[in-house]
Structure 1
Amino acid sequence: MSESENVNQTETPQPSNGLGALTAHIGRNKIDFALWCTRFATIVFTFNYLIPIFGSGYNMYYKALLANAATSALRLHQRLPQVQLSREFLGKVFIEDSAHYLLYSMIFFYAPPVTWVLLPVFFFALLHISSYSLGLIELLGPNALAVVRMAIGIVEVQSVNLLRTIAFSEIFLFPLLMLSLFSGRATLMTLFVYYRFLTLRYSSRRNPYTRNTFGELRVLVENYAQNPSCPAVIRNLVSKMVALVSRLAPPVITAEQQ
């Protein structure tokens, strides 16, 4: 009796897989699961904005931004759990990528819907939800949800391309907002704050893709301008634009300089 009781005591409390293991994991990692929920909500609301199935597409746009803001706030809390009223702490906040996208959601929440705005929000949610979803599926069993595993595998293989797509969408949103000034869908304040967002993304220590994409675009336009078939007027215009953007680029602070 004593041997069987000891076996039961060692095997019962911690199921290796199945619904019990999943429930236990969620209980131990409430914030991580909350992040999974808000990212999933972002994906669902974006789909419903593009293809209105449940509710108004107009409302889904703002719900997607709200879900992204919730994700960013939770992630920022994970990174900086101890809030301090100091200039140094505020500097630490704006170094965090999650703070950048919290600002991003605030920029566009009070502006008319622009579909392009949801591109980086959607792709970031898709990218970050995939790895955690795979961990949840593993808890259910090695052969659970094979189709979902396959979809997650595709997302993970394309992770670099997704990050580059996000960077391109961040950059090209700025000229799109400039054009939107003429239709009244954006304001000078929106442009000013979004420029600040772009400088934060350019200076990001954890995600260099926006900075690298700026570099790739510079090489691309300079190569085009140096082509003998390029008109002199366009060559001069490109040179002036590259010089202007280079002057506006913020200094990049590396980890060694902290």
Structure 2
Amino acid sequence: MADNADTSGQSARGVGAALSHLTHNKTEAALLLTRALTLFFTVAYLVPVFGVSSAAAYQKALMASAATSALRLHQRLPAFRLSRDFLALLVVEDSAHYLLFALLFATNAPLTLALLPIALFAFLHFCAQSLALVDRCGQRGAMGGALSSVVESYQRSILQTVALTEIMLMPAVVFAVLSGVVSIVAPFLYYRFVALRYASRRNPYSRQMFHELRLSVQHLLYRPLCPQMVRNAGLSAIGLVERLAPPVASN
């Protein structure tokens, strides 16, 4: 009985420490909430059983993601000032890229694939934040082990999937324009987003996925069974993509 009381007291102190951390770090608490909302509304869009319409769930998932990006910018950037230096800092921030992403897709008709990158990012960072809180409680247990596995073992796979989805969304946006689903300016804005992701200083996965896709397509094009017309068209497309790629600053 005494052992159980001691364990309960330690758990309470641990939970209290985690709650105190969130109370004194309101931005971290807000990020945990916006990421949870992104995941909830993404699931509500895909599985409409929560009493939320699909269109509303789609918009709210993107707005929650936009709020996450805005909070991250608040953490990482100095106080706003209208200057060239501040804008230069803003443009290279990954959170600014995803703020543009969320606003772009939130102002157009639903495109299901657009929810995958923001949901995966929200899931990964929600797990990382939750793991930090579990560690602060001092008792990992099975939940802590599962969160640690996601953060440490699956992070690379999740980021690669995000990067691949970002690339695949480009032709999807173009087809959506031809179908009259999104506005004519959407492909130009989305190309700017992809260019920013390609040039990202903190996240190399977009460049890696472009490289791997190029190698895979070239491997198919140079197979003996590939018709010459298809090979020429494919190589021309690869050349166009390479010319459109932005320069990448060396670190």
Q: What TM-score comes out, normalization by structure 1 length?
A: 0.88
Residues 8-32 of structure 1 show CA distances to partners (whole Å, capped at 9, x for unaligned) of xxxxxxx994232122211222211
| Structure 2 stretches lacking a partner, 5+ long | 1-10
Kept in 2, the 8 Å contact 1:17–1:139? The answer is no
Give the structure 2 partner of residue 118 of structure 1: 115
CA distance in 2, matches of 1:34, 1:166: 23
Structure 1 distance, partners of 2:19, 2:148, is 24
User: Over the residues paired in the alignment, what is the CA RMSD in angstroms?
Assistant: 1.6
Give the one of 213, 218, 222 matched to 1:217. Answer: 213
Q: How does 1:218-237 map to 2 (within 5 A)?
A: 218-237=214-233
Secondary structure of the equivalent of 2:176? helix
Q: Aligned pairs, how many?
A: 239
Match of 1:35 among 31, 37, 58: 31
Matched, 1:180 2:193: no
Matched-pair identity in %: 45
When normalised by structure 2's length, the TM-score is 0.91
| 1:127 paired residue number | 124
> Which residue of the other structure, out of 40, 44, 60, is the alignment partner of 2:40?
44
Distance 2:175 2:146 in 1: 37
**Distance of 1:222 and 1:206 partners within structure 2:** 28
Give 1:78's match in structure 2, choosing from 71, 75, 78.
75
Structure 1 residue identity aligned to 2:17: A
Once the two structures are TM-superposed, the CA of residue 139 in structure 1 deviates from its matched residue by 3.0
Asked if structure 2 preserves the Cα contact closer than 8 Å seen for 1:127 and 1:155, the reply is yes
Partner amino acid, structure 1, of 2:150: V
Contact 1:17 1:141 in 2 (8 A): no
Structure 1 residue ranges (4+ consecutive) displaced by more than 2 angstroms after TM superposition: 15-19, 138-141, 148-151
Q: CA deviation at 1:246?
A: 0.5
Q: Distance in 2 between matches of 1:132 and 1:19?
A: 14
| Alpha carbons 1:104, 1:197 under 8 Å: kept | yes
Q: Provide closer, same or farther for how the CA distance between residues 138 and 52 of structure 1 changes in structure 2, counting only shifts above 3 A.
A: same
Alpha-carbon shift at residue 153 of structure 1 (Å): 3.2
